[in-house]
Amino acid sequence: MTNNLAVAGDLLRLLSETTTEPRVDEQLEALTLAVAADLPVLLWGEPGIGKTAALTHLAGTLGLPLTTVIASVHEPTDFSGLPVLGADPAVQGVPMAPPDWAVRLCRAGHGLLFLDELSTAPPAVQAALLRLVLERRVGELRLPPGVRIVAAANPRASAADGWELSAPLANRFVHLQWTYDHEVVVRGLGGTWPRATLPELDAGRLPDAVAYARTGVCRLLRTRPALVHQMPPNEARRGGAWPSPRTWEMAVRLVAFATAAGTSREVLSMLVRGVVGDGPGLELLAGLDRMDLPDPEDLLADPAGAVLPERGDLRQAVLDGVVAAVRQRPGRQRWEAAWTLLVHAMTTGAPDLVVVPATTLAKLRQDDWAIPAEIERLAGAVTLSRRAAA
C-alpha cells in the first residue's frame, strides 16, 4: 500500500509539472498592469473558469508568495484585528492583533494576497475589508508596499449564498471580467500556460505619461462635471465599477502606467472601464484619442506630407478639425491647403470620409477664389465643382 501511494505521488507530481510560454492575453496583461500599478483588482467570472489558477500562475511567474484568504469563512475581527488585553488596558489601551497570514506577509515583505469568494462574504465582513483593501491595514499592522491585493468573485446568481458587493468596497477595486479562452485552456491542460510578465515601463516616458493621464482625465471632468461622482441607482450596479473621485484617481494611475508601458488600447479600455464603468470609461478613451490627434494648423502648413490616423473615426475628426480651422480663420491659401489634405486623405483611406468635410469646405469659397484642381480629383466621392461654382 505504501509503495502504491509513493507511485501515486510520483504521478501527481508529473501532472503538476507545467511550463509557460509568451502569449498575447489581453485580460492577463490588464491584470498584470493593475497589479504593477498597486491597485486592488477584483476578477468577476463564473465558477470553474480558472480565476484561482490564473492567480496561482501570476504569483509564480512574478515570484510573489501567494496567500489565499477565503473571505466568507472569516469573521470581521480576522480583518479588523483581534483585541488583546495588555497589562494595563486603561493606560495602554487594547491593541488589535493581526491574524497569522498578515504577519507572514509582513515578514516576507512582499506577496500576492488573494481574497477569494468575495461575493459570498456577508456585509459585516465586507465592512471589515474596507480598511484592508484601501489602507492595507489589518488591525494595528500595515502590510508592506510589496504586497499586492487581488480578489475573485462569482456573480450573485452563480455564487453559493451570494451577497451583492457593498458600494464602498466595490468602489475600491479595478473590476475585470474574467473569461476563458478555449485555446489557452487546451494548451494549459496540455502543460503549457501563458506567461504573465510585469509591464516594461519606459523610464524616459514617465513624466509625459503622468501629464498625459492627468490632462486626459481633467479635460473630461472639466467638460462633464456630472461624471465626477455617479453612484448607480440600484444595488446590483453599485457592486461594480462606477465613477467617483477615488476611481478617477485610479484611472489617472492606470492611464499613466498604460502609456509608459505602451500597452494596447484594448487593455487600456478594460482597465478604465473597470474603475469608472463602461459609459464614463468610453468617454475617457474617446477624449484620450483626440489628444493624440495632429494640430489642424500643422496639417494646413504641410498638407501633402500629413500623417493621418488609420482609424476612421479619428481621421474623420481630424478632417472636420481642419475645416473648422479654415472656417475660423479663412484665407485662400488655407482653403487650398485644406483641399490638398482632403485629396491626400482620399488616396490613403476610405473616400467616403471626405464627403462631409469636402461639402462644408466648398461652401467656404469666396467669389474671388479660383476653384483648385484638387476638387476635380474628388469628383468621384462627391460632386463638388458645381457646388463651389454656384
Q: 503622468: which residue's cell? A: 210
Q: Give the whole-angstrom CA distance, residue 271 versus residue 275.
A: 7
The confidence band for 86, taking pLDDT boundaries of 50, 70 and 90, is low
Output the pLDDT for position 159. 57
Question: Is residue 169 located within the same domain as residue 33?
Answer: yes
For residues 73 and 124, is the Cβ–Cβ distance under 8 A? no
**Domain ranges, residue 186:** 18-83+94-194
Residue 110 has pLDDT above 70, yes or no: yes
Distance CA 335, CA 339 (A): 7
Same domain membership, residue 285 and residue 256 = yes
Residue 29 counted as domain residue:
yes
Express each pLDDT in 2-27 by its tens digit: 688 889 989 999 998 888 888 888 99
Residues 32 and 147 in one domain: yes
Using only C-alpha atoms, the chain has a radius of gyration, in whole angstroms, of 28
pLDDT at 88: 62
C-alpha cell at 101: 497570514
Picking from 142, 150, 173, 9, the residue whose alpha carbon sits closest to that of residue 66 is 150
The answer to whether residue 3 sits within a structural domain is no
How far is the CA of 189 from the CAs of 8, 17, 55, 152, 184, in angstroms?
19, 11, 16, 22, 8
Q: Which residue has the higher pLDDT, 240 or 51?
A: 240
Digit-coded pLDDT (tens) for 288-346: 988 878 888 888 988 888 888 888 888 888 888 889 889 989 999 999 899 889 888 88
Residue 67 and residue 101 in contact, taking contact as beta carbons nearer than 8 Å: yes
Neighbour-count burial for 56-84, b at 16+ CB within 10 Å, e otherwise: bbbbbbbebebbbbebbebebbbbbbeee
Give a yes or no: residue 161 inside a domain: yes
For 251-273, give the DSSP string.
HHHHHHHHHHHT--HHHHHHHHH
pLDDT of residue 128 exceeding 80: yes
pLDDT tens-digit series, residues 180-204? 888 888 888 888 888 878 888 999 9
What is the rounded distance in angstroms from the CA atom of residue 263 to the CA atom of residue 190? 29
Confidence of residue 89 (pLDDT cuts 50, 70, 90): low
242 and 346: one domain? no
Closest of 351, 357, 353 to residue 339, by C-alpha: 357
Set of cell numbers at residue 46: 463564473
Asked whether residue 374 is assigned to any structural domain, the reply reads yes
Q: Is the domain of 240 the same as that of 385? A: no
Q: Bridge partners of 44?
A: 153, 177
pTM score: 0.79
Q: What is the pLDDT of residues 264-282, one digit of tens each?
A: 999 999 999 999 999 999 9
Residue 389 has pLDDT above 50, yes or no: no
User: Are 150 and 113 spatial neighbours (Cβ–Cβ below 8 Å)?
Assistant: yes
Asked whether residue 176 is domain-assigned, the answer is: yes
pLDDT digits (tens, 9 = 90+) for 138-192: 877 899 999 999 999 888 666 556 688 899 999 999 999 998 888 888 888 888 8
Which of 194, 229, 248 is a domain's end point? 194
In a domain, 5, yes or no: no
pLDDT of residue 304: 82
171 lies in the same domain as 281: no
Of residues 152, 197, 181, 162, the one with CA closest to residue 35:
197
Cα(131)–Cα(354) distance, integer angstroms = 55
Number of domains the chain is built from: 3
Residues 319 and 354 in one domain: yes
Q: Give the pLDDT band (50/70/90) at residue 230.
A: very high
Q: What is the pLDDT of residues 206-219, one digit of tens each?
A: 999 999 999 999 98
Say if residue 237 is in the same domain as residue 348: no
User: What Cα–Cα distance (Å) separates residue 236 from each residue in 155, 232, 240?
Assistant: 10, 9, 8
Helix axes 278-291 and 245-261, enclosed angle (nearest 10): 40
For residues 184 and 383, give the distance between their C-alpha atoms in angstroms, rounded to a whole number.
Answer: 52
Residue at 147 is within a domain: yes
Predicted local confidence at residue 266, as pLDDT = 94
Q: How confident is the model at residue 386 (pLDDT cuts 50, 70, 90)?
A: very low
- Tell me, what's the pLDDT at 112? 94
User: Is 364 found in the same domain as 305?
Assistant: yes
- Considering the chain, what percentage of its residues have pLDDT values greater than 90? 35
Say how many CA atoms lie within 13 Å of 358 toward its Cβ: 28
Of the three residues 165, 194, 223, the one that is the final residue of a domain is: 194
Q: Are residues 70 and 49 in the same domain?
A: yes
Per-residue pLDDT tens for 39-68? 999 999 888 888 888 888 888 888 899 999
Residue 143: which CATH number?
Answer: 3.40.50.300
Listed residue (324, 327, 336, 326) closest to 371, CA to CA = 336
Residues 253 and 375 in one domain: no
Residue 4 lies in a domain: no
Asked if residues 49 and 113 have their Cβ atoms less than 8 Å apart, the reply is no
Q: Ramachandran region of residue 48, left (φ > 0), alpha (ψ -120 to 50) or beta?
A: left
Residue 250 has pLDDT above 90, yes or no: yes
Q: Are residues 286 and 366 in the same domain?
A: no
Q: CA-CA distances (angstroms) from residue 287 to 174, 205, 301, 306?
A: 21, 20, 25, 22
The pLDDT of residue 383: 54
Stretch (H or E) spanning 376: helix 374-377
- Of 159, 194, 229, the residue that ends a domain is 194
Give the separation between CA 36 and CA 198, rounded to whole angstroms.
7
Q: Is residue 385 over pLDDT 50? A: no
Distances, alpha carbon 254 to alpha carbons 174, 197, 262, 280, 286, in Å: 10, 17, 12, 15, 16
Q: How many other β-carbons are positioned within 10 Å of the β-carbon of residue 191?
A: 13
